[in-house]
Structure formats: structure tokens, C-alpha cells
């Protein structure tokens, strides 16, 4: 169940939504059948949705299976499946698993993004909490930002692309739920709001954890191209209902607005406070 995110301000907004030794180009297929598609493509979302649990997606970066060479290798038996075998070459896969929701309507359409945003969205599939205390750790220490930057550099280098200096809008929602909260209901509200955010466009990643069984503390976060996109994505009725639940159910909630700054050629990165 995802934590219900809340953006402060008068305008309703929803914050979104065994290693293989690499070869010289960063890829080493395990078999001919498992050969990856061209570098500009990704594997079908089925390689994630068929095998990954919600916990795999939240805590083990299972979405990275879609992007060859930057995360978990794909089990060849999955790719050998009849309904996948003809879809790896000569077909442009453009739907990316960018949240713990794997229904097709919740997938990110890479064709709607500019090239820098496409590459970052792919790199963000490796996003993972670095510690069990992610809900209370400083944000920059809670996630594997160094690995994300490494993946971004690898993807840009693979496409011979000079990545431009870029800034991305981050929302962090820290919360505490009562032990008797109806988490199934809250989860449905979260899913509805994420769908609205996806449909608005430019939501590159949505990550949420699981409320601690004793303290109820949790963290959810989303990465957008820009704050204006977050405003647009948080204006629907699903977000309004979710905000009402935040106010009436959560024991505590706190929002942080940050930015992820990537320097030219992804040579370095930083997490800074967002200032309008």
C-alpha cells in the first residue's frame, strides 16, 4: 500500500505516482534468446510484471529488468516465453514500469518524453532504499542516488549522447499511520491518484515504501520534470480525495520539496532544496 502524498499549498497537487558480468559495452546476454534489444529500446514490461512482487518493485529495483545492462539480469526463461519471444527485436517497446503499479495504464510512455527525461526515467528504474530507516533518514541518504547517476552515465554513453545539465522536481512525503488505518482503502486512493498523475504526463518516477509495522512511519516520493508538471498532475478528483484522507486519517505528515540536479554529461549530481 502506498503512502498518500500531499503537496502543501492552496492548489491540490499529488507528489508523483546473481549479477551478470558485463562486457565492454555493459551488456552480456545469457543466451541468444536473451539477447537485449538495441540500446535505444527497453524490454517489454512483462519481464517485470510477470515475476516481480510489490516488495521487489519497492525495495529491490525490479523495474530495472526492463533496461538491459543497468540492473538485475532477466531470467532467460521469461524472455523465451511464446508471447515475448517475438517482441524483443524489430519492435519499439516504449512503456516503462516507473512505480510499484504494473497495470498498463500506470506505465510511463517514454515516447512522450524528451531525450534527457527518457534517459533519467530509465536510470531511475534502479532506485532503491539504502537503509531500512529510509522513512526517517535525510532524503539524500535514503536512496541510491550514486547508482542512479552511474546508470544515467552508462545509458548516455551507450547512445553517444552528451547529457545536458538538468534539474528535476522532487516531492517527499513523510507520514505516520495509525495502526488501525484501512490500508486497503488508502492503497486504492493512492493508485487512483497515481493514474491521474501518469495521465497528466512528465511523472518520471513514483516510489513508496511500506508503513513500519510498529511505528506506522513511511515515505513516498516522486520525481517530475518540473514543478509545473506536478501541479498539473495533482489537480484531479482522485488527488482531492487522497488529500482529504491525509488530513483525516494520518497521525503525522510532512512534505519536502527538493530538486535533483544532474551536471553536464551526468558527471556529478546533487539533491538541493527547491526554491521557486
- Cα distance between the two ends of the chain: 31
Report H helices in the chain. Answer: 46-49, 54-59, 76-79, 82-85, 115-123, 139-142, 145-158, 183-200, 227-233, 237-249
Q: In terms of DSSP bridges, do strands 166-176 and 217-224 run parallel, antiparallel, or are they unpaired?
A: antiparallel
What's CA 78's distance to the chain center, in Å?
22
Cα angle for residues 146, 130, 37 (degrees, 5° grid): 55
Residues above pLDDT 90, as percent of the chain:
58
- Amino acid 235: pLDDT: 74
Q: What is the sign of the dihedral through the CA atoms of 52, 57, 61 and 66?
A: positive
Give the side-chain half-sphere CA count within 13 A for 211.
24
Model confidence pLDDT, tens digit, residues 149-185: 999 999 999 999 999 999 999 999 999 999 899 999 9
Residue 56, all three cell numbers: 521487489
Q: Is the pLDDT of residue 95 over 90?
A: yes
- Amino acid 138: pLDDT: 96
Mean pLDDT of 70-99: 66
- In which region does residue 26 sit, left (phi positive, over 0), alpha (psi from -120 to 50) or beta (all else)? left
Give how far Cα 241 sits from Cα of 9, 60, 77, 157, 220, Å.
Answer: 16, 30, 42, 43, 17
- Amino acid 201: pLDDT: 80
Model confidence pLDDT, tens digit, residues 185-198: 999 999 999 999 99
Highest mean predicted confidence (pLDDT) among 10-14, 47-51, 118-122? 118-122
Q: Dihedral (C-alpha) 56, 57, 58, 59: value to the nearest 10 degrees? A: 40
- Amino acid 242: pLDDT: 87
Model confidence pLDDT, tens digit, residues 31-82: 333 343 344 578 999 989 888 999 999 999 999 999 988 876 666 555 555 4
Q: Choose among 240, 190, 181, 188: nearest CA to 211.
A: 181
Q: Choose among 172, 19, 193: nearest CA to 105.
A: 193
Q: What would the DSSP string read from start to end of 99-139?
A: SS--SGGGSEEGGGS-HHHHHHHHHGGG--BSSTTTTTS-H
Mean pLDDT lowest among 33-37, 116-120, 241-245, 257-261: 33-37
Domain range 46-273, its CATH number among 3.30.9.10, 3.10.20.600, 3.30.70.100, 3.30.420.280: 3.30.70.100
Amino acid at each position: 500500500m502506498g503512502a498518500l502524498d500531499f503537496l502543501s499549498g492552496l492548489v491540490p497537487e499529488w507528489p508523483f505516482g546473481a549479477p551478470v558480468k558485463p562486457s565492454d559495452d555493459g551488456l552480456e546476454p545469457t543466451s541468444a534468446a536473451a539477447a537485449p534489444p538495441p540500446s535505444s529500446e527497453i524490454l517489454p514490461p512483462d519481464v517485470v510484471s510477470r515475476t516481480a512482487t510489490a516488495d521487489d518493485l519497492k525495495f529491490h529495483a525490479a523495474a530495472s529488468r526492463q533496461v538491459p545492462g543497468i540492473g538485475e539480469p532477466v531470467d532467460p526463461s521469461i524472455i523465451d516465453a511464446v508471447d515475448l519471444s517475438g517482441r524483443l527485436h524489430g519492435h519499439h517497446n516504449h512503456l516503462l514500469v516507473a512505480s510499484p503499479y504494473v497495470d498498463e495504464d500506470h506505465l510511463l510512455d517514454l515516447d512522450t518524453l524528451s531525450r534527457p527525461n527518457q534517459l533519467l526515467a530509465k536510470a531511475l528504474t534502479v532506485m532503491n532504499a539504502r537503509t531500512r530507516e529510509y522513512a526517517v533518514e535525510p532524503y539524500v541518504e535514503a536512496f541510491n542516488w550514486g547508482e542512479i547517476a552511474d546508470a544515467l552515465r552508462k545509458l548516455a554513453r551507450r547512445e553517444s549522447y552528451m547529457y545536458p545539465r538538468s534539474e528535476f522536481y522532487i516531492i517527499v512525503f513523510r507520514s505516520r499511520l495509525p495502526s488501525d488505518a484501512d490500508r486497503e482503502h488508502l492503497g486504492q486512493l493512492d493508485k487512483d491518484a497515481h493514474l491521474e498523475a501518469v495521465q497528466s504526463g512528465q511523472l518520471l518516477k513514483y516510489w513508496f515504501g511500506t508503513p513500519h509495522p510498529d511505528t506506522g512511519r513511511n515515505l513516498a516520493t516522486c520525481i517530475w520534470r518540473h514543478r509545473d508538471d506536478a501541479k498539473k498532475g495533482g489537480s484531479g478528483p482522485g488527488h482531492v480525495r487522497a488529500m482529504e484522507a491525509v488530513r483525516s486519517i494520518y497521525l503525522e505528515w510532512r512534505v519536502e520539496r527538493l530538486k535533483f540536479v544532474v551536471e553536464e554529461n551526468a558527471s556529478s549530481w546533487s539533491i538541493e532544496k527547491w526554491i521557486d
